[in-house]
Structure 1
Amino acid sequence: MIGAGASFPYPLYSKMFAEYKNAAGVNVNYQSVGSGTGQKQITERTIDFGASDNAMDDEKLKAAPAAIAHIPMALGAVIATYNLPGVTEPLKLTGGVLADLYLGNIKTWNDPKLAELNPGVTLPGLPVTVVRRSDSSGTTAVFTDFLSKVSPDFKAKVGTGNSVNWLAGSAAKGNDGVAGMIKSTPGAIGYIEEAYAVQNKLAMAAIQNADGEFVTPTLEGVTAAAEASELPEDMRGTVTNAAGKTAYPLASYTYLLVYPEQNYGGRDKAQGERLQHLLQWMLTEGQQYHEPLHYAKLPETVRTRALDMVNKMTFDGQPMNVAQ
């Protein structure tokens, strides 16, 4: 099987697909190429499944040759990470200040807005280097969705999406590319999935949430954000800036994108059944691999709904009913 898309869940999917091969003897080749490319390739039907951290919008779904289902698989945190020599404690950042950094309005780390949020912290006079994604990215969509919710200025000038017209910064490909650029650039700040920050031993900022609390990313905070945010029937939704004192404001679902009807493009029933079985496994036994890799398991109500969507997949209009 071949899948492609988001780099956000790549550390998790690498583990899950290795374990699935051990359990089922099926090789899954997953290409970490960005959510935008995953959406494009599933639309073009060149892969078995796509992967994206943000849902496809109505316009993209209408352009697809058939209905595409969004199957949530995990929850994760997008974090603001930085390279500030001598600063050892987590910096506090509001969404508005984070937006100002990415708008180019804050140019040095000892800016009064940053100093006011971090009393007692000696901030260096280093120039700010904001780092962003060069590829079409679900992590970018999550980050810009949050900033657009908290900053009208950012919403008007940059907006939300997999790819946006940035006003400042340097670009790198993938979460790993952004992490590498931050690690090698004193004064840099960027946004990446939490697992990449942990792997690279990068600092993680405490972000102010909708209740005014400054929170660092935790599995509990990501889960709290999901539980405070109701997903619609088709599962397409965001959980950024969720209410709740413990909710982490830059939380996100990550999805697999599949065709519920598997009889297309010369596929045979066995291919559809293999995909259905993989998705069933990921939503059951596969959930055990999330937390050790800094992803949150799906809330039980969401997991049950997702599994029901998978179980209703068809081939030529008939249920496949692969045994779980």
Structure 2
Amino acid sequence: MIRFRNSLRVAVLGMVMFHAVAAHAAEVSGAGSTFVYPLLLKWAATYYVKTGQQVSYQPTGSGNGVRQIKAARVTFGASDMPLKPDELRAAGLVQFPLVIGGVVPVVNLPGITPGQIRLSGPLLADIFLGKVVNWNDPAIAAINPGIRFPDRKIVVVHRGDSSGTTFNWVSYLSKTSSAWNESVGTGTTVKWPTGVGATGNDGIATYIRNVEGAIGYVELTYALQRNLSYAAVQNRSGTYVQPSRESFSAAASAADWSQRPDFYQIVTDAPGANAWPIAGVVFVILPRAARDAASAKAALAFFKWALNEGQADAAAEHYVALPAALVKQIEAYWSENIK
């Protein structure tokens, strides 16, 4: 674990920092969500080429990102769990959605290909509760006819850090399993009944790839980049849905942002036959009145570019861009709430 954390620090320093910026450019720094890291990395690189503006981002987990922005150590925080309006006001912060993606269960089972197996919310909850402990359990076989599972112990892998990806994962489990809701509940951190912890989406992806019999959860891009096998998951309508930009978009289309103060909304377990049930929204958190006005202005310019011109990058990284009407609503929110 120590070796992994050291490697992650090296990766962050080597991949995220963009140097040799114009002398007049304000410094823009961010921290938080690992869920959105692949896209923010790509956006920052593209934006730097276009404008010479440096945007540095540390994928430290949503909980850490919230702590960093509250302490004014970064220009912006990013979290997959929205803050409630009262908490935002108390801390002098604002938030807005940036992009939509999906959390997927990933497994390491020899011979199992991406999307081949099916899992439901109650079954996933029982696995992460430690009630279903072997891959040849009848409950798994019952919804996967024709697939022969090995007589192998299930190794549960979960986040060990404060994580918005975890928040969306356990939100889905809580909405579909009363046993999970009553015994574990939701949050960026929970008291896990079983399993081993890893840091960041990348940490879970690495563990899954290296340990046969393992199951965990990551944002889809991490699964695709590392060629991990993911599962189709049962949604509210009873349909087993494959994770894709289309199913994420179907989940997002059920959301109505117009009456949501500070855009507070959770989109897991969305209605719709084609909706992915573990969709997540990434939120950017900024101060209402920043100490460094130049950096705050530069950050807003970056996000305005990302929301209006960064759509191709979002699609390439398997995220869903926000609808144009919502982008206009966000820009009006900036004018009304950020000094």
* Category of TM-score, reference length = shorter chain: over 0.9
8 A contact 1:276–1:311 mirrored in 2: no
- Report the AA paired with residue 318 of structure 2: H
Q: Tell me if structure 1 keeps the 8 A contact 2:157–2:196.
A: yes
How many angstroms apart in 2 are the aligned matches of 1:253 and 1:22?
Answer: 27
Q: Quick one: which of 223, 229, 238 aligns to 2:266?
A: 238
* Uncovered stretches (5+) of structure 2, i.e. residues with no partner: 1-27
Task: State the Cα distance separating 1:273 from its structure 2 match.
Answer: 1.9
Following TM superposition, the consecutive aligned residue runs of length 4 or more in structure 1 with deviations greater than 6 angstroms are none
Letter in structure 1 aligned against 2:100:
L
**Pick from 89, 93, 102: which aligns with 1:77?**
102
1:286-313, Cα deviation, whole Å (9 max, x unpaired): 2221011111111233222122223445
CA 1:62–1:307 in structure 2 vs 1: closer, same or farther (change >3 Å)? closer
1:75-126 deviations in Å (ceiling 9; x for gaps): 1010000001122362111100000000000010000000001010011111
Separation in structure 1 between the aligned mates of residue 119 and residue 101 of structure 2, nearest angstrom: 19
Asked if the contact 2:307–2:321 (Cα under 8 Å) also holds between the matched residues in 1, the reply is: no
> How does the TM-score come out when normalised to structure 2?
0.88
SS at 1:71 equivalent: strand
In the alignment, structure 1 residue 96 sits paired with structure 2 residue 111: no
Matches within 5 A, 1:283-298: 283-298=307-322
One-letter code of the match for 1:246? N
Report whether the alignment pairs 1:227 with 2:257: no
Within 2, Cα distance between the matches of 1:274 and 1:212?
A: 45
1:47 aligns with 2:74: yes
- Contact 1:53 1:255 (C-alpha < 8 Å) held by counterparts: yes
Q: Aligned pair count?
A: 309
Sequence identity percentage: 39
Q: Which residue of 2 aligns with 1:321?
A: none
Worse-superposed segment, 300-309 or 237-246: 300-309
| Change over 3 Å in CA distance of 1:59–1:314 after alignment to 2 | closer
Q: Determine if contact 1:82/1:188 at 8 Å carries over to the other structure.
A: yes
Q: Runs of 5+ in structure 1 lacking a partner?
A: 316-324
Alignment-derived partner of residue 210 in structure 2 = 184
CA contact (8 A) 2:62 2:78 kept: yes
Deviation at residue 159 of structure 1 after TM alignment:
0.6
Separation in 2, partners of 1:302, 1:168 = 40
- Structure 2 counterpart of 1:271: 295
Instruction: Report if the CA contact (8 A) 2:85-2:261 is conserved.
Output: no
Determine helix, strand or coil for the equivalent of 1:29.
Answer: strand
Q: For residue 194 of structure 2, what is the aligned residue in structure 1?
A: 168
For the pair 1:29 / 2:61, whether they are aligned, the reply is: no
Distance (whole Å) between structure 1 residues aligned to residue 109 and residue 295 of structure 2:
50
Q: Which residue of 2 aligns with 1:209?
A: 235
Contact 1:223–1:299 (Cα < 8 Å) also in 2: no
Q: Which residue of 2 aligns with 1:258?
A: 286
SS in 1 for 2:310: helix
* Bigger mean CA deviation after superposition, 290-299 or 55-64: 55-64
Gap change, CA 1:148 and 1:288, over 3 Å in 2: same
Q: 1: CA distance between counterparts of 2:139 and 2:232?
A: 15
2:175 to 146, 149, 164: 149
Structure 2 counterpart of 1:123: 149
Asked if 1 retains the 8 angstrom alpha-carbon contact of 2:208 and 2:215, the reply is yes
SS in 2 for 1:234: helix
Task: State the alpha-carbon separation in 1 of the partners of residues 250 and 111 from structure 2.
Answer: 33
Q: Distance in 2 between matches of 1:61 and 1:73?
A: 17
Q: How big is the alpha-carbon RMSD for the aligned residues of Structure 1 and Structure 2?
A: 1.4
Residues 226 and 299 of structure 1 are in contact (CA less than 8 Å); yes or no, is this contact kept in structure 2? no
What SS does the corresponding residue of 2:243 show, helix, strand or coil? Answer: coil
Matched, 1:106 2:139: no
- Partner-residue secondary structure (3-state), 2:262: coil
- Checking the alignment, whether the CA contact within 8 Å between 2:118 and 2:240 is kept in structure 1 is yes
Once the two structures are overlaid, the 10-residue window that deviates more, 186-195 or 274-283, is 274-283
Deviation at 1:281, TM superposition (A): 1.1
Q: 1:47-80: per-residue Cα shift (whole Å, max 9, x none)?
A: 100000111245643652x1x2212111101000
| 1:204 CA drift (Å) | 1.1
Letter in 2 for 1:291: A
